[in-house]
A = this chain, B = another copy of it.
Amino acid sequence: MKRLCIHTITTKPWSTEDCIRRYAEAGAGGITFWRYNLDGRDPAAVGKQAKDAGLDIVSLCRGGFFPAKTAASRQEAIDDNRRCIEQAHKLGAPLIVLVCGAVPGQSLEESRKQITDGLAAVLPDAEAAGVKLGIEPLHPMYADDRSAVNTMRQANDICDALGSPAQVGIAADVYHIWWDPELQHQIQFTAANDRLFAFHICDWKTPTTDLLNDRGLMGEGCIPIRQISDWVDATGFTGHREVEIFSNRYWSMDQGEWLGMIKDSYNELYGCV
């Protein structure tokens, strides 16, 4: 259970404090905070609270959204990512997960160029703060306005374009990449280049009724999660398995009951009864 990490968005109705307390009580090993968790709070205090509860702070979600139609807006995004790096540093999060961004009507090539430029701009800040940046390839159904990076290959290409800095890598989420015929190879390649920074799990429901907020609990969908997870572990990855589930259905449940379901599903998947 120590490799189980939960993203606070998975239990969105809970406060930051509730998430920390309840995840720790449930025996999870780690927590990934979302930035809204820090609203009106001192990141260092939140970080201390999590550590005192025995939780590893796995990452801070999310930076990114670099592309924009105007230079001024792109600069705003860079400034916001710098603030995010500072927050992560104070929080004690070693990693920021990046949803890289896309602009409807702007070519994906141009957006990827702007993402690369944005990363280059904030890289010195990340290095100075000792915070890593994890590019999360998003499913191609989010290529319109969320991410022009839709495969691990594209994320690796951006790492290459930046000159393979140790600070930049990839956050692999099964929801986004399970369909990719290159997946096993890309996981191996990513790890071999010391870029496999994070591993997120959930499931793909049939039918999926909402493009954003209808993700499934592990085991109720079609993603071969255990197979992908084994590919990840076979590279030597020993990091957390992060449960990140956006779901209107589950958010409307009693969140304690929902956390119990997550724990059961995780235990069934990994056989850690």
Contact = CB atoms under 8 A, between A and B. Distances in A.
A224 B102 CA distance: 14
A247 to B, nearest CB: 15
A108 B211 CA distance: 21
Closest 7 CB pairs of A and B: A143-B179, A104-B222, A140-B179, A141-B141, A144-B206, A104-B206, A144-B222
A211 B140 CA distance: 12
Q: Assembly of this chain: how many copies?
A: 2
A181 B154 contact: yes
A163 interface: no
A248 interface: no
A221 B144 contact: yes
A107 B181 CA distance: 11
B222 A105 contact: yes
Interface string A211-233: 10000000001101000000000
Most buried by B among A141, A150, A224: A141
Interface string A77-119: 0000000000000000000000000001101100000000000
A125 interface: no
A108 B144 contact: no
A163 to B, nearest CB: 21
A104 B205 CA distance: 9
Contacts of A144: 204, 206, 208, 221-222
A180 B181 CA distance: 13
Given A104-B221, A151-B181, 8 more contacts: A105-B222, A140-B140, A143-B179, A144-B222, A145-B207, A150-B179, A208-B211, A211-B211
Interface string A144-155: 110000110010
Interface in A164-190: 178-181
